[in-house]
A and B are shown apart, each in its own frame.
Chain A
Amino acid sequence: MRSAREDEALQTARDAVALALAAGATGAEATVGIGRRLSVEAREAVITKLEQSTGKSLTVRIFVDGRKTTFATADFERDGLRAALARAVEQAEHVAADELARLPDERAETVPDLGLYDPAIVERGDDAGAEDALAIERALREADPRIVNSNGSHFGDSSSLVALANSDGFAGSYLATRASRSTSPVAHDGPHKRTAHYGTAARRLDELDDNAEVARIAAMRTTEMFGARKPGTMRVPVIFERDVAAAVLSDIFSAVNAANVAVGNSWLAGRTGEKIGSDLATIVDDGRLPGRLGSSPFDGEGVATRRTVVFERGVLRSFLYDSYFARRLGAATTGNASGGGIGPNSLYLEAGTGSLAELVAKTPRGILVLDTIGFATEHATGTYSRGARGFAIENGELAFPVEEFTIAASLPDMLAGIDAVAADLRFDGSVVSPSFRVAEMTISGS
C-alpha cells in the first residue's frame, strides 16, 4: 500500500522523466527524496542545539544516446525544471558517447516491505529527543566522576521517502527511518584532556542502546586511556575492536567497488577467483536484511537489492556493481547503485565465535586497537596505515593503554592474516564487522 505522499513524490519523479524526454533525452531516471530530521545537542543541563528541518531533492540522470549527465535540484517548480533539464541535455553534448551508458537492463519487479520504517520515530516529539540528550549528559557524570566536561551529547532522528521512476517503466517508493544517540565526554588525565566518542544508530528506536549504555561506554573509552604511552616499534598481532574493524571493511569496500576496479584503482582488479584472505574472511553484501540500516528494496537505479558473497573463505567471488560498471566488466549488477555511484548495502564480515575479551585472552602479546585516525589507504596498492590508540596486550591481558602510534600493513596481508574473528557483529551502520585479529602488523611508536 502506497501512501498519498509516496504517490505524489512518484508523480513528481514521473513528470521529471517526461520533461527530460521532451528536452531530447533518450532515457531518463528521476529520484525524489523527501526528508524530515531532528537533531539535538545537550551539554550539562542545557539544550545547546535544537534543529528541526524538512528538505527535498530531485536528481535526474539523463542519457542522450550514450551521453550521460546528472541534474540535481530542490526546486520542483515545473517551468524552472523544464528550462534546467533542457540545459542539462545541452550539457550532455560534450560528454563522449558510451554505448554502455544507459538505464539498467533489469529492474525490481516487486518492492517488498523490509521493515525500514518505525512509526514510533515519526510520532515522537522533539521534547523526547531533547530529554534523551540531557539524560546522556547526566549519565556521563554518573558513570564516572572523572568525566568533567563534554563535547556534547546528541540525539538525532530522521524519516525519509524515496521515490524513483525511469523511462523504462520502473516506478517504486519506500519509507525509512533512522535514529541515533552519541556522546563525547572529556576527562582530565594530569595535564592532558582526553576524549572519546561512542554512538549507536538503528532504523528502529527500540534497537538503539539506551542513554545510560551510550554514556557508560563513552565514559569507559575516555577514562580507560588514562596514562597511555607510546608503544615501541615492533611487529605483533593486532586485534581490531568491532568499530575500527568496520573501518577496515570500508577500505575493503573501496577495493571491491567496481568503479575503482574498472579504472585500475583497486589492488583486487583482475583477481576474481583467487584465494586472497584467510579461511575466516567471508564478506557479504546484503541489501535485504530486514530492518537494517543498509537495506532497501531497490538500489539507486531501481534494481532489486540482493545478497552478494564478496569473499568466501578468503576467495574473491564478486565485486560490487551498478549496471554501468557491470556492463564494463562483463558482469551482472549486484544492486549496489547509490547516489550516482556504487555504495555498500549491509557489507559485513561473517561473525566468528567468542567475545572480544576471549579474543584478547588467547593473544599472548599484541595490540588491541580501539580507535584510529586518518584515512591513508592507497587503493591502487592496498597499503593501509593509520594513527591508532588502544591497549598493549601481554600474557593475554590488557597490560596498559597505548597511543600516538601507527599501524601499517597491506590490505591483502591483513585479509590473509585474519586468524580469529569474534561473535560481536552488530548492524549499527551499513558497513559493519565483528572484532577480528590480524596475525602480524607493523606498529610504529618510539
Chain B
Amino acid sequence: MLDHELLARLLSRALRNGGDYADVFCERRNALSYRLQDGHIHESGLSLTQGVGIRVIVGESAGYGYSDDLSSEALMRAADAASLIARNAPRRAHGSIPIAPVAVAPLYDQHRTAHAASRRYADLLSRADVAARAFDPRVGSVNAHITDEVQEVWIAGSDGRIVHDRRPLVTLGVQAVSTSAGDRGSGYAADGGRTSIAYFDEHDPEAIAREAARIAIVNVEAIPAPAGEMEMVVGAGAGGVLLHEAVGHGLESDFNRRGVSLYSGRVGERVANELVTILDDGNIPGERGSLSVDDEGVAGAHKVLVEDGILRGYMQDRLNARLMRVAPTGSGRRQSFRSMPQPRMCNTYMPNGESTFEEIVASTKRGIYAKGFGGGQVEISKGDFVFMVAEGYLIEDGRITAPVKNATIVGNGPEAMTRVTAVGNDSRLASRHYTCGKGGQYVPVGVGMPTVKISAITVGGTGA
C-alpha cells in the first residue's frame, strides 16, 4: 500500500526520539453486507476503509498515531505523534532501516479479490429465510445477515521486515423468533470463516436457518431456569465459550506481565484439574480466529496454555514478550489501524478426554445441560465469569428432561477448572461466528470443547 522508501522514512521518523521498536501497520478493508428482514432484502452496505497506524515501543510504554489520510505529510504527523512517547527516554541512534519483504505461508486464499455478484448474497439470505419459516409454523420473525470482507494488511517493523497478509472473512447468521400462546423464544445460528461465500455451496444456508429455528422452538417451549448451585454439563463445541471466558482472558500476557491476572507468575503451577488441557491455535485453516501472521507480523504458534492441569504459558504480543523475555506467540491482534495491538486469543479449545457424552449425562443427578452459549464476560483479576446459556436443559437423575430458558451461569475460573470431573471424547470447534471484545476492540475468534462435566456451578434463573 505504501512504498518501501516511505515506510523506511516513517520508521526512522517514529524513532527520532529513540525507542526499542517501531512498526507501521497499513490496512485496507473492503466489506460488503446484506440484511434480510420480513422476507425481503432490507438493506445492503459497502464499506471501504484504509489507513495506517504507527507505533513506537519504549520499555513498557507505547506511543501511537494513526491516519486515514495517506499523504506523506499526514503519515509523518502520525509518526511524530507516536514518537512522543520516547521524548524523555534515553536517546538511541537508529540508522536508516532497509525494508525487506518476508514471505508468509498463507492459511487462506491470498488471491480472492472482489466480492461475488450481488445476487448470490441475496439468494443465500432468501433461502435461509424460507428454510427458517418452513421449520415450524410458530417461527414468526426471521432476520438474516451476510457479511463478506477482505482485510489486507502490510506490517513493517524497525527490524526491517515487512509482511503482507490478505484475510477473507464471511459470516451468514440467522435470528429466528418463535411465538406460541403468548410466549416468545429466540434462536441464533451462524457459520462462515476465513473463506469466500463459496463456503455456502457446501454448507447450506438452510442448515443454519433450521438450527436457528430449532433453538427458537426449544426456547418457546422452555421453562424458567432454576436458581442455585448445581452440576453442569457443558456442551461440545459452543461450550468453548466457557474456556474463553473462564481461563483464556486470564492467560493474555498484558494482564500477567502487569501482575493483575490471577494467573500472574504461576507458569508451572497446577491451575486446573489434571483432566484439563487448553490450547490456542491460530493456524487452523478456515477458522475465524486463524491468521497467517498476527497484526505485528508474527507467525501464529500452536500454544499449549494448560497441559493436564498445569499452566504452561501465556499468549504473547511483542511488547509483553520482550518484557517477559519470551518469544511472541503470534497473539498480537487489533481491530483496525485505529488501535494498538493487544495479546488476544485466536482459536481456543480443549482436546478430547475419555468419557462419552452418555456417561457424562448419566452421572449427573441434578444439573443443567448447557448446549449453546450466547456469550460471556470475565473479570480477570479474581477470575469471576458469567455466561449466558442460549440453549439449555435440565438434567434429572441422569436424564436430559425439560428445556430451560434464560439461564445465566456465574462462577470463578480457577474454581470451575478444579471442578471439572469428566472430559468427553467428542471435542469439536463451534460453528464459526464468535467475536471477542477487549478494551473496546473486537476481533473474530474460534472456540471449541468436548462435553465437560463441572461438579458445581451457580445457575441464575427465576424458576424453582
Name A's B-contacting residues (CB within 8 A). Answer: 43, 46-57, 68-75, 84, 87-88, 90-96, 98, 126, 149-151, 186, 192-195, 230, 233, 263-265, 267, 340, 373-376, 378, 380-381, 383, 385-387, 389, 403-410, 442-446
Contact = CB atoms under 8 A, between A and B. Distances in A.
B119 interface: yes
Contact of B49 (A72, A98, A409): A72
Given A69-B46, A387-B408, A263 B143 contact: yes
Contact of B259 (A50, A149, A263): A149
Given A53-B64, A54-B67, A91-B44, A263 B461 contact: no
Given A95-B34, A374-B408, 4 more contacts: A233-B228, A376-B408, A404-B412, A445-B228
Nearest to A88: B46
Contact of B118 (A68, A94, A150, A267): A94
Contact of A406 (B40, B43, B183, B458): B458
Nearest to B410: A387
Contacts of A446: 228-229, 458
A264 B49 contact: no
Given A265-B141, A378-B406, A387-B410, A404 B45 contact: no
B45 A192 contact: no
B450 interface: no
Given A50-B85, A263-B141, A96 B388 contact: no
Given A387-B410, A404-B412, A194 B382 contact: yes
Contact of A53 (B62, B81, B386, B411): B81
B460 A193 contact: no
A92 B33 CA distance: 11
A53 B78 contact: yes
Contacts of B228: 233, 444-446
A94 B44 contact: yes
A373 B437 CA distance: 14
B381 A194 contact: yes
A52 B87 CA distance: 15
A47 B32 CA distance: 39
A164 B157 CA distance: 39
A386 B48 contact: no
A49 B379 CA distance: 22
27 contacts: A43-B60, A51-B64, A51-B65, A53-B338, A54-B77, A57-B68, A72-B49, A74-B51, A91-B118, A94-B41, A95-B43, A98-B42, A193-B381, A264-B177, A264-B179, A264-B184, A373-B378, A373-B384, A374-B386, A381-B186, A383-B462, A385-B406, A387-B386, A387-B460, A403-B384, A406-B458, A443-B227
A143 B257 CA distance: 24
Interface in B419-464: 458-462
Nearest to A60: B46
Contact of A264 (B140, B378, B380, B406): B140
A381 B180 CA distance: 12
Interface in B354-407: 374-382, 384-388, 405-407
Dominant SS at the B interface? strand
A171 to B, nearest CB: 24
A382 to B, nearest CB: 9
A193 B408 contact: no
B61 interface: yes
Interface in B22-71: 32, 34, 37-38, 40-51, 59-69
Contacts of B325: none
Contacts of A50: 61-64, 84-85
Nearest to B84: A50
Interface residues of B, number: 84
B260 interface: yes
B111 interface: no
Nearest to A410: B462
B384 A387 contact: yes
Contacts of A385: 388, 406-408, 460-462
B223 interface: no
Contacts of B131: none
Contact of B45 (A51, A69, A233): A69
A23 to B, nearest CB: 13
A72 B46 contact: yes
A84 B32 CA distance: 12
B119 to A, nearest CB: 6
Given A74-B49, A94-B41, A376-B406, A49 B184 contact: no
Going nearest first, the 6 A-B pairs with the smallest beta carbon separation are A406-B460, A387-B386, A96-B40, A74-B68, A376-B388, A374-B386
A150 B48 CA distance: 38
Interface of B: 32, 34, 37-38, 40-51, 59-69, 74, 77-78, 81, 84-85, 118-119, 121-122, 140-141, 143, 175, 177, 179, 183-186, 227-229, 255, 258-262, 338, 340, 374-382, 384-388, 405-408, 410-412, 458-462
A192 B406 CA distance: 30
A267 B385 CA distance: 28
Which among B38, B227, B374 has the highest number of chain A CB atoms within 10 Å? B227
Nearest to B254: A151
Contact of B410 (A72, A383, A406): A406
A304 B26 CA distance: 39
A378 B68 CA distance: 38
A49 B62 CA distance: 5
A373 B246 CA distance: 13
A149 B338 CA distance: 28
B63 A96 contact: no
Nearest to A57: B68
A75 B48 CA distance: 8
A373 B458 contact: no
B459 A444 contact: yes
Contact of A74 (B50, B229, B258): B50
Nearest to A68: B43
A47 B412 CA distance: 32
B184 A72 contact: no
A305 to B, nearest CB: 24
Given A69-B43, A94-B34, A195-B260, A383 B381 contact: no
Contact of A90 (B63, B118, B179, B229): B118
A408 B32 contact: no
A70 B47 CA distance: 8
Contact of B260 (A51, A149, A264): A149
A429 B102 CA distance: 46
B60 A48 contact: yes
A392 to B, nearest CB: 16
Contacts of A386: 386, 408, 460
A265 B338 CA distance: 33
Contacts of B386: 373-374, 376, 386-387, 406
B74 to A, nearest CB: 8
Nearest to B59: A46
A446 B411 CA distance: 11
Contacts of B175: 265
A446 B462 CA distance: 15
Contacts of B460: 385-387, 405-408, 442, 444
A290 B183 CA distance: 42
A407 to B, nearest CB: 7
B458 A71 contact: no
Nearest to B229: A446
A264 B141 contact: yes
Contacts of B259: 149, 186
Contacts of B67: 53-55
A54 B53 CA distance: 11
Contacts of B41: 94-96
Contacts of A230: 458
A265 B260 contact: no
A265 B186 contact: yes
A193 B84 contact: no
